[in-house]
Every structure is written in structure tokens, then in C-alpha cells.
Amino acid sequence: METRSIIIGTGSAIPKKIIHNKDLEELVDTSDEWIRTRTGIVTRHVVEEGETNSRLAGEAAKNALEMAGLSPVDINLIIVATLTPDMPMPSVACLVQDAIGAKQAGAFDLAATCSGFLYGLAMADGYLRIHPDHHVLVIGSEVLSRRVNWKDRGTCILFGDGAGAAILTGAENGRGIVTSHLHADGSLWDLLAIRGLGTREEVTPAQLEAGLQFIEMNGREVFKHAVRALESVTMEALETAGWKGEDIDLFVPHQANMRIIEHLRQRLGLSEEKVFINIHKYGNTSAASIPIALDEANRSGILKPGAKVLMVAFGGGFTWGSVAMKW
């Protein structure tokens, strides 16, 4: 039987502080009703003083290790997908490696925005083909609240903070990753970007005054591209896996907008209980959204061994991708 990469443990970490739609009505010209109907979001969680990306990532990792029944020294590689690291150097992955005591592990961050966790799963899958007995910790972790302009109603209503983790290893039991597809289109980068704080220009007070450290998004354009790309990558995954829409036991899309998810659900002809949704609680947590969803689904017992799971994501870059697996 073919060796495939299986997930043997999941974990997540969500900051305690909650921001309700009503709270946002105090900050920008918006309403609870507009946010619910246009996005499906009701609350989002954000960090408080002292909570960091690497701490959330570390907590999610510990929860995943506990579920997998592994010790931190059993981990051989740590991949953290994030667009909001604690700092440019070192990587969040190195901070997590130290925090959890994964002394045998290599560690690096991966920048693929909201698709980052799926890119990470694909990298882990490739690595495990060479070292099937190793354990790879893939984390998606974000502190988007520090990169959101709380005066911009087009973005501040959407995002939240959190982390999710999964531990993978090789197995010959008919389960595991069946296929992955990764895509990008850098020509459209400026529809969704954080322009400042990079090395293209000196970081100046004027830049910060202009808000270049914040997420800027042309929501309407991103929405159109996201729907098209997610539909196409979903069909591509089904075709490669040899599955039909109705074969999917759980569809786990990136949680960016309820209307995008609903469009995909109808396109696939899936019943509502086959689509995992938690956007109402957390908003868009970028790279963390799929691993948080996976952990919630896993802990609630929805995911039975062998269940056909299809994950799809789209984000800034643009990047998009899919991972199909038998749980």
C-alpha cells in the first residue's frame, strides 16, 4: 500500500478578547446587520497585551502534540504559515521550536497569506515522502488585529486572530493526503496588500501616518477573483482525486466570506452539514482559519477515520490551493 501523510493530532488557540459587530459600530460607519449579511461574521477574537503570534502558535502546537501522544522532541520539522510574524527575524517557527522544546526540529516560516496552511501541508507531504517516519508540525497562526486599520470599514470588520496546528507523519493504511494543488498570480498583488514595513523603502513616520502598515484591500475585486479561483481549484482537486462533489464528507474552505462559502457549497451540491463553518465566531484569521476549523471538526467527532476531506483557500498574492485527504 502507498505511504501517505496522515494527520495524527490537531490543536488550536484563540485569544480570549472578543470584538462584537456592535463594538465596531462605535469605530466606523457600519452596522451589525450589514456585517452579518455581507460576510457572515458575528464576532472575532483579538490579542491583548502580551499575547503574540508565537505564543498562540505554541499553544496550538502543544494541544496538537497532546492529541498525537507525542513529546516535543519527536517533532522533526516545524512549518509556520503566517503573514503577521512577531518580527521579521527570527521566524515564528524558531520561537515555537524554543517555546515547546522541540530540540530535534528544523523550523521555518512560510508566506502564502490565507493559503499558507495548505501550502504548508503540501510541503510537509513532500518532506514525508523522503522521511516517512518523521513528524512534521504545520501551524497557521496570525495576529491580524495589529495589521488592521481600525478606521477602515472595508477591512476592520473582517479579520481576527488565532492559531491552528496539525501534526503529520507517514502511514500505509489507505488514509492521508491524496492530492494537493498550489497556485499563484503575483500580477494582481496590489488588490490585497500591506505596502509598508518591508524593505522597498525606508520606514518613515510619514509612511506610518499614511497607514502603509495596514491591510489594504479592494474587496469587490478580491471577491470576484476568490470565487473564480476557489471554484476552479475545487474542481481540479476533485478531478485529480477521482472524487465527485457528493463523495466529500467534509468541505473545509478558508473562512473569508460566508457568501463565497455558500456559492461553493451550492456549486458542489453539498448539504449544509458537510461544509465546516466557523466564520461567525472568528472572522477571517487568514492562514489560521483552516487549521482552526480542522481542529474544531476533529474534536467535535465529525471527522471519522477515512472521511474524505477537501480543503480550499484563497488569499493575497494572489495565492490559492487545495488539499484533498482521507482523514
Residues with catalytic function: 114, 254, 284
**310 makes contact with ligand ACO (CB under 6 A):** no
Q: Are strands 135-142 and 162-171 parallel, antiparallel or unpaired?
A: antiparallel
Q: How far is the CB of 261 from ligand ACO (least distance, A)?
A: 10
**67 makes contact with ligand ACO (CB under 6 A):** no
Interacting span for ligand ACO (CB under 6 A) from 10-18, 69-77, 181-189, 220-228: 220-228
Buried-state track 281-300, b at ≥16 Cβ within 10 A, e below 16: bbbbbbbbbbbbbbbbbbee
Q: How far is the CB of 114 from ligand ACO (least distance, A)?
A: 4
Considering beta carbons, is residue 44 or 326 the nearer one to ligand ACO?
44
**220 makes contact with ligand ACO (CB under 6 A):** yes
Q: Are strands 77-81 and 135-142 parallel, antiparallel or unpaired?
A: parallel
**3 makes contact with ligand ACO (CB under 6 A):** no
Give the contacts of 322 (CB within 8 A, at least 6 positions apart): 118, 179, 180, 181, 233, 234, 236, 237, 310, 311, 312, 313
Q: Cα–Cα distance between 23 and 242 in angstroms, integer?
A: 46
- Give the residue from 213, 210, 216 showing the smallest Cα distance to 197: 213
User: Grid coordinates 476533529 are at which residue?
Assistant: 298
Q: How far is the CB of 41 from ligand ACO (least distance, A)?
A: 9
Applying CB under 6 A, what is the total number of residues that bind ligand ACO? 22
Q: How far is the CB of 147 from ligand ACO (least distance, A)?
A: 9
Q: How many helices (H) and strands (E) does the chain have?
A: 10, 13
**112 makes contact with ligand ACO (CB under 6 A):** no
The CA-atom distances, in angstroms, between 319 and each of 184, 225, 233 are 4, 11, 11
Q: How far is the CB of 97 from ligand ACO (least distance, A)?
A: 25
Considering beta carbons, is residue 214 or 327 the nearer one to ligand ACO?
214
The CA-atom distances, in angstroms, between 105 and each of 32, 74, 75, 76, 78 are 45, 8, 6, 4, 6
Strand order across the 250-253 sheet = 176-184, 319-326, 308-315, 250-253
Touching ligand ACO, residues 171-210 (CB under 6 A)? 192
Q: How far is the CB of 211 from ligand ACO (least distance, A)?
A: 16
Q: What phi and psi values does residue 204 have, to the nearest 5 degrees?
A: -120, 160
- Give the residue from 101, 121, 125 showing the smallest Cα distance to 110: 121
Considering beta carbons, is residue 65 or 217 the nearer one to ligand ACO?
217
**40 makes contact with ligand ACO (CB under 6 A):** no
> Of residues 36, 62, 146, 153, which one binds ligand ACO by CB under 6 A?
153
Tell me which H or E stretch contains 260. helix 258-268
**257 makes contact with ligand ACO (CB under 6 A):** yes
**245 makes contact with ligand ACO (CB under 6 A):** no
Considering beta carbons, is residue 41 or 70 the nearer one to ligand ACO?
41
**30 makes contact with ligand ACO (CB under 6 A):** yes
**284 makes contact with ligand ACO (CB under 6 A):** yes
Residues of the shown chain interacting with ligand ACO in the complex, contacts defined by CB under 6 A: 30, 34, 38-39, 113-114, 153-154, 157, 192, 219-220, 222-223, 226, 256-257, 284, 286, 314-316
